[in-house]
Structures are given as structure tokens and as C-alpha cells.
Chains A and B, each alone.
Chain A
């Protein structure tokens, strides 16, 4: 266990934000879900008693009859905003006094650093380059992520949970988002920061970053396992595999969407376009971890579909 290597990575000034993320993301996930649980308890209580549902204050925050429902922005909100500004400024100044921004040697087109890493917020994309063609990892997937995020409000037909934390009322949406954000996006950043070393080789935390390590990756395209060699054969085979994937994944996603009574109710509210869009984004999102797993498994699949113009 090479602690000094681990310390070297975590203490690099440019990695400090990721170390901070390691604490912040779980903390805020817990913070939000904690309130969700409290709200869910209230909801369960109200659902059990129709009379209570009519009269009870519908929030977990305290309120008594006679209390004003609104507060003046000045002074209450302004005070809080001012305090937040002060705290952020103090944090920023202390951080800036203690840690120096990095500055490497002057740009040299003839000498690439090893490892050569993108800024941390793009490390997720750089990690994807291992498993996908450059244009897919660098253009298509980011594009789909952006469009997919934008499409969320238009695919979500669940009217509950608007304006308060809840888990029980929005399980599907929250699980999907946490999967995409925490498990895919944040985890890929963590891998890119702490795990990927020289040569973009996989080093477990605690392993020394050896610049001369030899890695023998025997990656095969999927069609090789089936003995297909002709260009047309590869094209058809790959196309069939991808189609099959979407069908199977689509079926799995459908099962999740219609998992229980409540989900089915929401499903019935969806239009065809909403349903298909949701299916597309979810199945494509799932393709990423599946491709990663296919690469890591002993079968070491590099591409599932090989064509003269692109590989997937």
C-alpha cells in the first residue's frame, strides 16, 4: 500500500476539488434524502387518514395557525445571502492562500506529459475514450448527455414531488438520476483522477504509479468470437447485436417503468413520444456501463459493431 503515492495524488492542488467532491456529493445526497424520508413519513401519515389530509399542515417544516406564511426578503433572505457570500469569500481566500494553482512547464508540442489529463470535470469524458471511438466519447455522448438533461422535464409525467424532497413518490426518477450523476458521472471523474495513472493504465489506490509498467490488453471485437470476417458480415452482425441490445435493454427498462402500481399509473400518463424518448436515453445510458463491463470481463470486447465509417 503506497501511501505516499496516494497522498501525492490527493494533495495535488488541482485534485483538491475532487477530494472535496468525495465528501460533498455523498453529504448532499444524504442531506436531501434525509428530508425526503421525513416528507415520506408525513405523506404516509396523511394518506392513512383522509381527515388529517384535509386539515393538517402539509409540510414537515413547523407552522402554527397565526404564523405568517411569508417573510420579508429584507432582512431575512438578504441576511442569509450576505452571510453565504461572506462564508464563500472566506473559504475561497483561505483556500487561495494555502494552495497554489498549478503551473507546469511552458507548452511544448513535442513533449506530452504522462499522464495527460483533461480538467477534472471532463475526466468522465476522457475515461469514456477508453471504451468508445473519439467521436462517440467526445461528441456524441456529451451531446446526448446535454440533450438528455434538457429533455428531463418533458419526459417526466409524474406530478408528485414538485417542490419538496421525496423518495417514495419519485423512486424511478431519483434512482435514474443518481445512477447517471453519482454512479456514472462522478465515479468516472474519480476513476480518471485517482485510478488512471501513466499511460492511462489502471492503478488501484495505493499502487505506485509505475511509468514503465507493461500492460498487455488483448482486446477483441465481438464478431471475432463468432468467426465473421467479411465486411458485410461484420456490418450485419454488429447491427444485429446493437438492435438486439436495444430490444433487450428496452424490455428491461420497460419492466422498471411499469414495476409497480404507482409506476404504471405514471406510465399511463405518458404519450408515445415521451415514452420512446425516455426509453432511448435510458437504454443508451445503460450502454455505457455495459460496454465498460464487456471490456473488463475476460472476453475483453473492444467493439460490438464494426463498420467502415464508425465503430461502437
Chain B
């Protein structure tokens, strides 16, 4: 304690005291700063990093399993699969490729939506605008269109492969049915998208298609027994699809909504069921051990 005189001031002086304390603290602070700068040199050790990113794990079998099972995007997969099932010449990879194309189409489709107005006055113009005045617009439109065609091809090849390997047999019958539904949804997505540019190609393709709808039995005004049920051009199923009796503004808007929202949601739901059923039914069907004719069990009579 410094000696105090009557006025209560310390003998050494306030300023000196402060200066002394600062002198003490400076090296301490300097060390702290140096420590923190050192720690920043390894960002992977910071709290910020560690809270966001996973830690690198040793490559053990357990960790390999966990890498899939504890990953939100990957955990649809099992931890392990049959060693032969990874071979391209069994599955052709078509199912996965179809799903990947669906994702590509969703992504490119959403980007295209930023520049597309689904009205008669603007739809066609917007496609031209995309192709000429939007940077990478042409590339995006092309990618969307070709991915769509490719997806129809891969979905059909997938169906073909599943048939050839008999992967629709028990217990996978229902998954095959879901697959057929997805095939129809894929074709419908393609069909509704076809009209959107509002060009001659799309317009007449949809005209021909919906004209077939008016010939539906019972529900179409030109189909068998349709007229008898009171179907006219203004209330039959074709009218319901187009929102009118002609392929016009309403048809374009409905096509747009089916294409961008309605069918993708339905397809998404069915895809969820389809992938889940694959797991539930025992994973990828093969290649399975070959069975012999002599090993066929007789049908269980109920």
C-alpha cells in the first residue's frame, strides 16, 4: 500500500499506478494474442468449425457403416450391399441415373421459372428471351429439354432391366406397380412441359393429345356413350383438362402448374415409396444365386 498524505492521494500518483498496471498486463495480453493467433492457424480446431463440420474419422468398418447411416442425404442406402450388386452389368445404374436426372430437371426447371410467364402473350417471347438475353439461358433450356428426353429413355431402360432380372417377382410386386406409376408420371411431366413454350410443336402435340381425350368412352363428348351421358365440349373430361374447349390461355396455365408443382409433388411421393420399398423388400434384388428347376417348391394351396 502506497503511503497516503492527508488529501487521500496515493504517494505514487494515479497515473503512475495505471502505468504500472498496464506494464504488467501488456506481456500477459501479448501472450494471449499470440496463443489465439496460433490456434487460428489450424481452423479445424476452432469451436466454429467443429460445431458445423464432422470430424475426420479413421477408416474402420464401423465408421464406414456410420458414414452412410448417420448421413441425412445418404441414409436411404443400407450400410452394406452384396458385393456383386455394385456391378454395372447387373443394374445398369438406370434407376439411380433416372433419379439424378429428376434432380437435374428440378434444378434447371426452377431456374427457368425465374424468366417464364405462363401467359399467351409472354410464354413464347420468354423462351426467346431466355435464349438470347439471359446469360446461360440457352444452355439451361437445352439442359432441361435433353435431360427430360434422357430421363424417359433411362426410365424405360430401367423397366427393361428390372424385367429381365425378374426383380418384380415376390416380394417386389408392388414396387413394380409403383414403378409403372412413375413411368406414367414421367411421361405426363414430359407432355405438360411440351406445351409451355407455346410454339407450333407444343401446341399441336397437345391438341392431338387432348383430342384423344374427347374420344374417351363415357367421359368424352365424342367418345362412345359420351353424348348419352350429357357430355358436351364444355363439360367433358377434355374441358376439365384444358380449362376450356380450346387449347388456349387456361390450358397453358394448367399445364404450367401440373408441370411445375402438381406432378412433381406426386412423383416425389411415389419416388419416396419406391425407394423405401426397395429397402423393405430386401435391397437390390441381385445378382441372386441361380435357382434350379428341381428346387421349385410347389404352390401353397390355401
Contacts and interface: CB of A to CB of B under 8 A. Distances in A.
Given A95-B146, A101-B145, A165-B164, A135 B64 contact: no
A58 B82 CA distance: 14
Contacts of A139: 212-213, 215-217, 220, 223
B107 to A, nearest CB: 11
A100 B146 CA distance: 9
Contact of A162 (B169, B197, B205): B169
Given A73-B81, A77-B77, A133-B215, A109 B246 contact: yes
B180 A92 contact: no
B37 interface: no
Contacts of A100: 138, 142
B87 interface: yes
A134 B212 contact: yes
Contact of A17 (B77, B96, B153): B153
B272 interface: no
Contacts of A99: 142, 146
Contacts of B13: none
A85 B97 CA distance: 7
Interface band, chain A: 35 or more
Contact of B86 (A35, A76, A106): A76
A177 B163 contact: yes
Interface of A: 14, 16-17, 20-21, 24-25, 28-29, 31-33, 35-36, 39, 42-43, 46-47, 53, 58-61, 63, 67-78, 80-81, 84-85, 88-89, 92-93, 95-97, 99-109, 111-113, 116-122, 125-126, 129, 133-135, 137-140, 146, 149-150, 152-154, 156-166, 169-170, 173-174, 177, 181, 262, 265, 269, 309-310
A162 B93 contact: no
Nearest to A95: B146
Contacts of A101: 141-142, 144-146
Main secondary structure of the interface of A (DSSP, over half): helix
A238 B55 CA distance: 76
Given A74-B74, A75-B64, A101-B141, A138 B149 contact: no
Nearest to B80: A70
B167 A70 contact: no
Contact of A36 (B164, B222, B224): B164
A122 to B, nearest CB: 7
12 contacts: A28-B161, A35-B90, A46-B292, A72-B80, A103-B199, A105-B199, A117-B205, A118-B209, A135-B220, A139-B213, A153-B168, A163-B167
A113 to B, nearest CB: 5
Contacts of B172: 153
A59 B290 contact: yes
Interface string B278-302: 0000000111111111101111000
Contacts of A125: 212
Contacts, number: 294
B285 A162 contact: yes
B287 A61 contact: yes
- Counting chain B CB atoms within 10 Å of each CB, the highest count among A150, A164, A177 belongs to A164
A262 B212 contact: no
Contacts of B78: 73
Q: Which 7 pairs, one residue from A and one from B, show the smallest C-beta to C-beta distance?
A: A138-B212, A163-B288, A58-B289, A163-B286, A153-B173, A107-B203, A135-B215
Interface of B: 61, 64-65, 67-68, 74, 77-84, 86-90, 92-93, 96-97, 100-101, 104, 124, 127-128, 131, 138-139, 141-147, 149-150, 152-153, 156-157, 159-161, 163-170, 172-173, 176-177, 180, 183-184, 187, 190-191, 194, 197-205, 208-209, 211-213, 215-217, 220, 222-225, 246-247, 285-294, 296-299
Given A70-B83, A78-B74, A59 B287 contact: yes
Contact of A71 (B86, B144, B167, B222): B86
Contact of B291 (A77, A150, A159): A159
A84 B169 contact: no
